[in-house]
Amino acid sequence: QVQLVESGGGLVQAGGSLRLSCVASGRTSSPYAVGWFRQAPGKEREFLTTISSSGIETYYAVSVKGRFTISRDNAKNSVYLQMSSLKPEDTAVYYCAAGVRGISRLEAGYNYWGQGTQVTVSS
């Protein structure tokens, strides 16, 4: 089992930046890819980005490419999501997820999920 805890959410003005963290604990010796998703009120959960276990491969959704950057520090069992040029439509609960089958854009590709952290972008 892997437990994931997100942090770093909060309230930010449009155009601002935030960095989210996802820290893993438990069975972290196994290699796993990590993805970030978000869910806005009344909407389905949306894929944002993913990173391979080595950190070499990344993939971004069109909606965030060029504004969001995913990275990881395996020594700290941590994955980060640097978000810039934030827009009000980025307001959502942000989730990280870990999967043992490599990078994926699909929720089904991940075995473990965090509880989420709220990001609110004011106009």
pLDDT tens for each residue of 19-32: 999 999 988 777 89
CB atoms within 10 A of CB 122: 11
Q: How many Å apart are CA 2 and CA 80, to the nearest integer?
A: 17
Q: Copy the structure tokens of residue 37.
A: 């998703």
- The 10s digit of each residue's pLDDT in 65-88 is 999 999 999 999 999 999 999 999
Q: Copy the structure tokens of residue 119.
A: 């990001």
Q: Is 47 left (phi over 0), alpha (psi -120 to 50) or beta?
A: beta
For residue 22, what are the β-bridge partners?
6, 79
Among the listed residues 32, 23, 123, the one whose alpha carbon sits nearest the alpha carbon of residue 81? 23
Q: Answer whether residue 13 shows pLDDT above 90.
A: yes
